[in-house]
Structures are given as structure tokens and as C-alpha cells.
A and B are shown apart, each in its own frame.
Chain A
Amino acid sequence: MAIKVYGSDFSIGTYRVLLCLAEKDIDFELVTVHLASGEHKKPHILARNPFGQIPAFEDGDIKLFESRAIAQYISRTYADKGTCLINMDPKKAALEAVWIEVEAHHFNRATTALMWELCMKQFLFGQNGDEDIVNAEEKKLVSVLDVYEARLSESKYLGGDSFSLADLSHAPMIKHLMGTEMKRVFDAQPHVSAWVADILSRPACVKVFGVPVY
């Protein structure tokens, strides 16, 4: 198979790439990298991602890492397959790029620690999250979602009228956090809540994650 994704469960980046491939209805082979045994730090993975992280990606002789770069590559290269994820109009694409950056910086910073405390610690060590950290990080998330609520009250999707990479990029982290006490933070904002329900119920999302039960 020409396209291979080297990744793992509980890897937000892996899911970002899988969602992109599902939206485009592209066949690929998933090669599981076994994080628990430190496989991601072994030479064969370091050769694909010098930071020793997943996902890594291959399309023929093209070898990439960093999930957001992979998602952009898939979106551009397979532009006429499946869902259009980057607007053809450069000005509309520029607005999408703004919200892709907002996810990469503001949303990512406000959610990474919560993902660790509320999901990873449970999965890896069977531990509960540190309450003080969760409380502090929740405030950051609420602050970011205030901006999203305002944006989504004027715009159907983050980048504009259509679903794009700007929205897709958020889906894996939101999916995981909606399975934790942070669900109430997303539910508290009506436009954010509607947008979350919309993006998580997309057929590609259901294909990758299953039907949301909340």
C-alpha cells in the first residue's frame, strides 16, 4: 500500500491524520507503534521522526512527520478526493489558516495538560488527574472557548461557511475530552456545543472513533 501511517491509540496526532484520510476516503495501512515499550524512540521510528514521536507518514517515497503538516499534504495532494479540506479561494483559505494556527497554539496549549491528566494518566497508570492542575487548565480552556463561542456565533465553522482542516484539527482532542469531566465546559457554550456535535457526528469521524454516545 502506498500510504502508511505509523501511529497509535491515544495519539491525538495519529487521529488527526486518520480523520483526514477518512474524510478523503483514501486507503492506507496503519502500522502500530508500541508506545508502552518505547518503540517510538527506536532507530526505525527516529529515522521517520527525529523527535521520536508519532505519527509518521509515508506516501510512496514521500516521508513526513508532524500531524498538521501531514494533514495539509493530504488535503492539498488529494484535493479532488472526498471532502474539500482547504478552500480553493485564497482569501477563504487564509481565514482557515488563521484558525488552524489558533488550534496549533491556543487550543493545543489549553488542552494538552488536560488530556494528560484526565486521559493518559488513567490509561497508562490507572491514576486520576491532579485536581489543582485540572482546575488551573480548565480556566485556560474556558477562556479559549469564549473566543470560539463568539467566532461560531458568526460563522458556521471556524474557518468560514464550510467544514475544513481548521475544524478537523480540533476533533481528536475534543473527542477525548468529551469523554471526561471537561464535557461540561464544551456543553456550557451553545455554539461551541452545536459545533462539537456537528464535527464529531461526521461520517469520517464516526468511522475513526465510532458514534458519540453523549
Chain B
Amino acid sequence: MAIKLYGAPASNATLRAKACLAEKGIEYEFVHVDMSKQEHKSPEFLSRNPFGQVPAFEEGDLKLFESRAITQYLAHTYADKGSDLIIKDPKKMAILAVWIEVESQKFEPASSKLVWELVYKAMFGMTTDEAVVEGNEKKLEQVLDVYESRLSQSKYLGGESFTLADLHHLPNMKYLVGTKTKRLFDARPHVSAWAADILSRPAWVKATTA
């Protein structure tokens, strides 16, 4: 059954889904949603994602949106293909689920605001609000302090292996290490090593260059 991913190449949420597809070695058709032409607000696209955001996903008659729902569907459905992105052992899966939520509820809010201010605004010729940057860097530092402690006891966030809990961070982290915010990651040795490790994964490199 053919898989289609509807998205925009620079969109961090689209990249999250692409990273997962690449890790699993799954073939798919990428359908470019042209946001400069407001295609994401067209009735056709709104029928795929009523919030008018990328990405959207289709496999046969299954239509999904929300990148983290897409990745979880792929990770469970294609458990035997490519990299293991979830853990079968129920106790370990429970810990993994915690750190998936931590990315979603703690890392995402601060990091996505920083990506907007420091990366996307520049793409659209808008001016960075330094006060917003400063405030969100403080929040991100608090999150990274927790990560530093976690990663000093655990090789990856979810446990001993790379999983969705790490993968979900890739898009925002990729953008942030190209900005002054990189220093926040560099200042924390375990975080820094983990970031370098996951950003150099062949599947991620493939997902961001394809």
C-alpha cells in the first residue's frame, strides 16, 4: 500500500516524519505542499489536516496528521523493519513513553519558538525578537539541565538504544545548532555528545539531504 507524506521541505514537523521513514527504510512519495502559495490552507489540504499544518500522511485509506502520531504509527506498524524505534519490553516502553512526552511538552515549546525567531523569521525576512530568544533560551537551559542528568545515566533519552524519544528532537536541534543557541548544547557534555551522535545518524543525514 503506497505511503504518501504531504509536507514542506524546511518544516521541522515534516522532517520529524521523514526522519522516521528514513530510519525504517520505508519507501514513500513526498508530496510538496507549497506554503508560499497558501496550499496548506486549501480545502483539499484542510481535509487532510484540519489545522492547516504540515505534515499529513496517507497509507491506503488511513489518513493521519500530527508528526508524533505519524512516527508512532510507523514505529509500531513497521516494528520489524529498519531501526527499532520503540522497545518491546513493557517496562522499558513505559520509560520511553515518559521521554517522548518530555520532548513534546518541555523541549518542543522552547525550542520551536527559538527556531521560529532565529531561523524561520530570517527565511521570511522578518526581525528576530531578542527578548523572546532570551526567555526561551532560559527555558531551554532548564530542560537541557534535566537532559544532562538523564544522559549521564542513560546512553539515550528513552533508554540504552536510539528511539523515537531521541528522534523527535532532531529537526529543532538541527536548526538550533546552526544558531547561537548551539552554545547551550555545547555547555553540557552529555547533551553535546548525544546531540552529535543522533545528528550524524545516516538515516537523518539522508532525510535532510534527499
A50, B105: Cβ atoms closer than 8 Å? no
A95, B101: Cβ atoms closer than 8 Å? no
B69, A94: Cβ atoms closer than 8 Å? yes
**Given that A50-B146, A105-B66 are known contacts, is A69 also in contact with B97, CB under 8 Å in the complex?**
yes
B106, A51: Cβ atoms closer than 8 Å? yes
A91 adjacent to chain B (CB < 8 Å): yes
Q: Which residue of A lies closest to B90 (CB)?
A: A77
Segment among B3-11, B17-25, B71-79, B188-196 that sits at the interface with chain A: B71-79
Question: Which residues of A lie under 8 Å from residue B51 when comparing CB positions?
Answer: 102, 106, 147
What size tier do the contact residues of chain A reach? 20 to 34
Q: Min CB distance, B162 to chain A, in Å?
A: 19
**Given that A50-B149, A90-B77 are known contacts, is A68 also in contact with B101, CB under 8 Å in the complex?**
yes
Question: Which residues of B lie under 8 Å from residue A62 when comparing CB positions?
Answer: 91, 94-95
**Given that A66-B101, A73-B97 are known contacts, is A101 also in contact with B77, CB under 8 Å in the complex?**
no
Complex Cα distance, B65 from A151, in Å, reads 13
A65 adjacent to chain B (CB < 8 Å): yes
A30 adjacent to chain B (CB < 8 Å): no
**Contact bitstring B55-72, A, C-beta under 8 A = 1, else 0:** 000000010111011001
Contact of B50 among A76, A77, A94, A150 (CB under 8 A): A150
B100 adjacent to chain A (CB < 8 Å): yes
Which of B65, B76, B105 lies at the interface centre, i.e. has the most chain A CB atoms within 10 A of its CB?
Answer: B105
Q: Which residues of B contact A (CB under 8 A)?
A: 50-51, 62, 64-66, 68-69, 72-73, 76-77, 90-91, 93-95, 97-98, 100-102, 104-106, 146, 149-150
Given contacts A65-B98, A69-B98, A106-B51, 4 further A-B contacts (CB under 8 A): A50-B146, A64-B97, A68-B104, A93-B76
20 pairs, A vs B, C-beta closer than 8 Å: A51-B102, A62-B91, A62-B95, A64-B94, A64-B97, A66-B102, A68-B104, A69-B94, A69-B97, A76-B93, A90-B76, A93-B76, A94-B69, A94-B72, A94-B77, A97-B72, A101-B66, A101-B104, A104-B101, A150-B50
Question: Which 10 interchain pairs have the tightest Cβ spacing?
Answer: A101-B66, A66-B101, A69-B97, A94-B73, A97-B69, A98-B69, A69-B98, A73-B94, A69-B101, A50-B146
